[in-house]
Amino acid sequence: MLVFALGIPAASAGRVTVLRTTIGPTQLRSQGFGYSVAYRTIESGGRTRVVIRLFLYDSDRWRDVTPSALRADEVDTIDDVAFVDRLHGWVAGYNCARATVYLYRTSDGGRSWQSLGAPGGHSCGGGPTYLSFPDELHGWMEPVSPNAPAGELLGTSNGGRTWKQLTTTPPCLAPIRFVSRSAGWMGRCLFNRSAGVAYSTHDGGRRWKPVSIPVPDEAMARLDVPQFFGSTGVVAATIGNRPADEPGSTKSVAFSITRDGGSHWSLQSVRAVGACPMSIYSSGVWPAAIAGPRTWWIVGGARRPVVQVSVDGGRSWHAVVASGLPARRCSVVTVSAADARTAWVVAREQGYNTALFQSTDGGRTWTRARPSRG
């Protein structure tokens, strides 16, 4: 669970009991830059409340850059965070009572934030809002409603000041990643057999088409969002032992690549992983990370987490048993990697707690991240 030592406001003087700590949206964007959202549920004076913090990791130091307007807008959860560089970023958070998504923007690395109003609705049914910004001006926002299921896709060309509805029928309820003003991808589709399919757009999100990406056992695959490095793209698929519309367990991770911007894909590597739960709503784990066109990570295991790293596009792999990660069954939730040596993992600890861990030696040893001490 987020072992970020979050400060408790002075107004909470007296006995404070920490009930839960968890990690929200987290990404290591480069060796020296990333972000992580932390939640701490505390009880004080007979009242229970959740403290939300957004931390930036910049040049080996952590900073608390939480937008101050979150409290005034009574934001319950930060759904997503997007940074295009160390200075320019956006935060989407929702207010459940008002069924509204609030948006905030920074141009100085989180030292100050501009409120951009409430450009979208929210179902308050457990569905997140996904953000994607390939540059400082052009962005996309996808509020989803899994209890419908339904969603919409909005676009901006002025950094989020105004938004235009592009479609009310996205192909699935899933994260998005735009690589240019026109080209974007969607993966991690839920609820049906399209979980084994990725979607692409070439007109800025107005129209989407399914893309055939070769993976083993397609009906049992959950494709992640493809990641691009110029015209070279890589996508990881978590393969289960049951079809995507049935509960099952993880079986392997497959990597496919393209060298022509996504028109043609080929299967490159398949690696076995431990059996961990996969539901029809979420795989429960996303054990792979793409650090570069040839540098790929897998962190997972039914018992002790095992780290597998390839630096040659899946031709060979180096595997080690991770030291320092929780040893509980299927502890790893997500992985984010910057290069062949540096990565972050969000992992489950006792109860429902989750924590952020970091490695700088290729996954051999891991330590807890403690942002408030940076």
CA–chain centroid gap for 46, Å, is 34
Peptide bond into 214 cis (omega under 30): no
Q: What is the pLDDT of residue 7?
A: 41
Q: What is the pLDDT of residue 190?
A: 66
Q: What is the pLDDT of residue 236?
A: 96
CA atoms within 13 Å, Cβ hemisphere of 73: 25
Torsion angles phi and psi, residue 196, rounded to 5: -90, 15
Q: Indicate the DSSP class of residue 105.
A: E
Low-confidence ranges of the chain (pLDDT < 50): 1-12, 374
Q: What is the pLDDT of residue 75?
A: 93
Q: Where are the beta strands (DSSP E) in 137-231?
A: 139-145, 150-151, 153-156, 164-167, 176-178, 184-186, 198-201, 209-211, 221-223, 227-229
Nearest alpha-carbon partner for 325 in 296, 351, 354:
354
Q: What is the pLDDT of residue 2?
A: 33
User: How many Cβ atoms from other residues are within 10 Å of residue 19's Cβ?
Assistant: 13
Torsion angles phi and psi, residue 101, rounded to 5: -100, 125
What pTM did the predictor assign?
Answer: 0.91
Nearest alpha-carbon partner for 199 in 241, 230, 243, 153:
153
DSSP string covering 61-87? EEEE---THHHHTT--EEEEEEESSSS
* Bridge partners, residue 184, by sequence: 178, 201
Q: What is the pLDDT of residue 5?
A: 38
Q: What is the pLDDT of residue 194?
A: 57
* Residue 358: C-alpha distances to residues 41, 288, 292, 364 (Å): 23, 15, 18, 10
In angstroms and rounded to an integer, the radius of gyration of the C-alpha atoms of the chain is 20
